[in-house]
Structure 1
Amino acid sequence: MKKYKIQDSPFVVPTTDGKVIEEHFGLATNGNKDISIAHMIAPAGWSEPFQTPEFDEYTYIIKGKKQFIIDDELIVLEAGQSIKIEKNTRVQYSNPFTVACEYIAICTPAFSMDLVNREDQ
């Protein structure tokens, strides 16, 4: 039995806002509740409502820029930068810029709609 798993067919999460989410490991892909790893592309002009997730989230920017509002502080990350946002922190993610943002998101425990606690828009 092999002690590794190569993921070459990630679960593509259906979205209605133009964002591309390819979950390589996590609840949607293989039922893993401990961690989720996803490749994301947020189109220009994209945003999500504020949320207070019950998981730590790590983001690594590959291309473009991504905006974060964390406890009323505005932060913009560019390609090559990363951030860890601790669980139970109020945050809003967006891409108000003119080019798409490509990034990797890692959540521990795994991302779940039951744990994200999104606010009504």
Structure 2
Amino acid sequence: MQKKKKYIIQDAPFVIPTTDGKVIKEHFGNASQGNSQISIAHMVAPAGWSEPFQTPEFEEYTFIIKGKKQFIIDGEEIVLEAGQSIKIEKNTRVQYSNPFTEPCVYLAICLPAFSINLVNREGE
């Protein structure tokens, strides 16, 4: 009888289809494994990218690997650069964008996992 492994190596993340040029590779979460507890995704936001304002029903942690990303949180504009991170509480109105000239590479971790049904994007 083979012993069950107590770890998972993810080398084939689920690529979330997008229409805005953003690359989303979910390593763990709803789309990749049906895990609604946490999602971990590697993201690349192209220069000039932005999303509508949203009020997610999950906490979102963002760690910037390369480039810069802009956040508008309750009317306050914040710009993070490589090596910086942020935690945004659930039920907080936020807009994510990359108004800069270089792509932004970052990790996004959501608790509970990202779900289109929990993101509450304005205008959708």
TM-score scaled to structure 1, two decimals? 0.99
Deviations 1:53-97 (A, max 9, x none): 000000000000000000000000000000000000000000000
* Corresponding position of 1:32: 35
Amino acid at match of 2:102: V
Q: Percent identity?
A: 80
Q: Distance in 2 between matches of 1:100 and 1:2?
A: 37
Alignment of 1:11 with 2:14, yes or no, is: yes
* Corresponding position of 2:25: 22
Q: Distance in 2 between matches of 1:120 and 1:70?
A: 18
Q: Distance in 2 between matches of 1:9 and 1:113?
A: 22
Matches within 5 A, 1:96-111: 96-111=99-114
User: Aligned residues, how many?
Assistant: 121
Amino acid at match of 2:63: Y
| RMSD of aligned residue pairs (Cα, Å) | 0.7
Amino acid at match of 1:73: E
TM-score scaled to structure 2, two decimals? 0.97
Structure 1 stretches of 5 or more lacking a match?
Answer: none
Displaced runs of 4 or more, over 6 A = none
Give the secondary-structure state (helix, strand or coil) at the position aligned to 1:69. strand
Structure showing greater radius of gyration is: 2
Structure 2 stretches of 5 or more lacking a match?
Answer: none
